[in-house]
Amino acid sequence: MSKLQPENWQSKKKILVILAHPDDPEFFCGATLARWAAAGHEIAYLLLTKGDKGSDDPAIEPARLMAIRTAEQLAAARTLGVNKVDFFDYPDGYLEPDLEMRRKIVRSIRKERPEIIVTSDPLNYYIRGKHINHPDHRAAGQVTLDAVFPAAGNRFFFPELLDEGLLPFSPEEIWISLTHEASVVLDVTEYWQTKINALICHASQIGEAQAFRIAMLERRTADSRPEHPRYEEGFRRLFKR
């Protein structure tokens, strides 16, 4: 890999994205994931819920909504070039970063053995300074960080996982999305349309597609113009101890 890339990765990476809901990866960092997939990195998702409360339609049952959102997520992941999507079955809206959830995530980390983990910021209570952040987003970030350190790399945490053949493993880096404290900002202009195309797959969540496209195109950086837009995604980047 070229040293000129902001990531400065010298080899192909396994990347595990651990977030709360279907559509979170695409909304939070879809253009970055498209960038990484295009560069040949192997990307997998682990989503903690299937989004069973993501609708205001009183006629739809949660089981039907989960089936819809699961299918939408699989289609969106394919659009970005993601290799694998796994779901846990926690109820949407009720995530709590407890020990049982931490154990399950440690199991996944030791099984997948990703060099890079992407999650969300547990300290972000407000989105763009004017909307309340979903508590599941914060819980997903908290439990992921707690699983990464110190549990995933320490054999004395959840020793029953050793009986499953899952040896300790620590990722090289954590990329925290949906943060107000970005330490790295990527120019993802080349992949913004791919992000939009992936988000369009989440038809149950976005409303009228053309209006949504227009709104997403307006999210250009403040110093760019409509005729030459530039788009960015930011992360708090943490490294292995």
pLDDT of residue 90: 98
In the chain, count of helices (H) and strands (E)?
A: 8, 9
Q: Is residue 77 part of a domain?
A: yes
Give the position of tokens 């069973």: 52
- State the angle between helix axes of 209-217 and 192-200 in degrees (0 to 180), rounded to the nearest 10: 150
Residue 218 neighbours by CB distance under 10 Å:
9
β-pairing verdict for 116-120 and 84-90 = unpaired
Q: Is residue 8 part of a domain?
A: no
Q: What are phi and psi of 81, to 5 degrees?
A: 95, 20
Residue 96 neighbours by CB distance under 10 Å:
12
Domain extent, residue 211, equals 14-239
pLDDT of residue 240: 84
What's the total number of domains in the chain?
A: 1
Q: Is residue 129 part of a domain?
A: yes
| Residues of the chain with confidence (pLDDT) below 70 | 1-4
Q: Is residue 73 part of a domain?
A: yes
Q: Is residue 2 part of a domain?
A: no
Task: Return d(Cα 223, Cα 30) in angstroms, integer.
Answer: 22
Could you tell me which residues are beta bridge partners of residue 228?
225
Q: Are 79 and 195 in contact (CB under 8 A)?
A: no
CATH number of 115's domain: 3.40.50.10320
Task: Return d(Cα 200, Cα 122) in angstroms, integer.
Answer: 27
Q: Is residue 158 part of a domain?
A: yes
Mean of pLDDT over the chain: 96
**Largest Cα–Cα distance of the chain, in whole Å?**
58
Q: Are 132 and 125 in contact (CB under 8 A)?
A: yes
Tell me whether the omega of the peptide bond preceding residue 122 falls within 30 degrees of 0, making it cis.
Answer: no
pLDDT of residue 233: 98
DSSP code for 228: B
Q: Is residue 51 part of a domain?
A: yes
pLDDT of residue 18: 99
**pLDDT tens-place string over residues 59-110:** 999 999 999 999 999 999 999 999 999 999 999 999 999 999 999 999 999 9
Q: Is residue 7 part of a domain?
A: no
pLDDT of residue 224: 97
Could you tell me which residues are beta bridge partners of residue 86?
46
Overall size of the chain counted in residues: 241
